[in-house]
């Protein structure tokens, strides 16, 4: 992303920034799979073309970094994103098609016993 970050000699300065945002800050179009998944969570979802939104999130995250705040993983804030919860969602969907009630941990235990 290249954006004027200030002025030098009266001309806007440009900078190229490589950003790795913490989990909970995502680029996604409204209605996309990512946006639908994160809807209702406290994740900050910004459309890729929303420059003001991107600048806002980058400024907020940079300020958090400068003040020593460490990001908290989304799964720690919302268990909908835990592996166990996601596995159960998958097994529930499979169970709807097979007519069998499955639990991921029970299935894992059965396969290890064989």
Over the stretch 9-47, which tens digit does the pLDDT of each residue have?
Answer: 666 556 555 666 655 566 788 888 888 888 888 888 888
3-state secondary structure of 112: helix
Domain of 51 in residue numbering reads as 2-76
Helices (H), 10-98: 33-38, 51-66, 74-77, 83-98
**Number of compact structural domains in the chain:** 2
Residues 35 and 61 placed together within one structural domain of the fold: yes
Using CB atoms within 10 Å of the CB of residue 88, give its burial: 0 to 12 exposed, 13 to 18 middle, 19+ buried: middle
Give dist(CA 97, CA 92) in Å, integer: 9
Same domain as 46, residue 31: yes
Determine if the pTM surpasses 0.85.
Answer: no
The closest alpha carbon to 3, from 59, 71, 66, belongs to: 59
The mean pLDDT value for 54-63 works out to 86
Reported as half-sphere exposure (CB side, CA atoms, 13 A), residue 88 has a value of 8
Query: What's the pLDDT tens digit per position in 60-100?
Result: 888 888 888 887 888 888 888 888 888 888 989 999 999 88
Does residue 70 share a domain with residue 16? yes
Pair 8, 50 in one domain: yes
């Amino acid at each position: 992303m290249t954006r004027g970050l200030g002025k030098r000699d009266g001309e806007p300065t440009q900078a190229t920034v490589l950003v790795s945002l913490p989990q909970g800050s995502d680029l996604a179009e409204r209605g996309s799979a990512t946006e639908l998944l994160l809807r209702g969570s406290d994740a900050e979802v910004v459309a890729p073309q929303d420059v003001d939104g991107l600048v806002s999130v980058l400024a907020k995250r940079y300020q958090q970094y400068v003040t020593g705040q460490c990001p908290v993983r989304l799964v720690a804030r919302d268990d909908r994103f835990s592996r166990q919860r996601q596995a159960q969602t998958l097994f529930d969907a499979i169970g709807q098609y097979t007519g069998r009630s499955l639990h991921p941990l029970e299935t894992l235990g059965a396969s290890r016993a064989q």
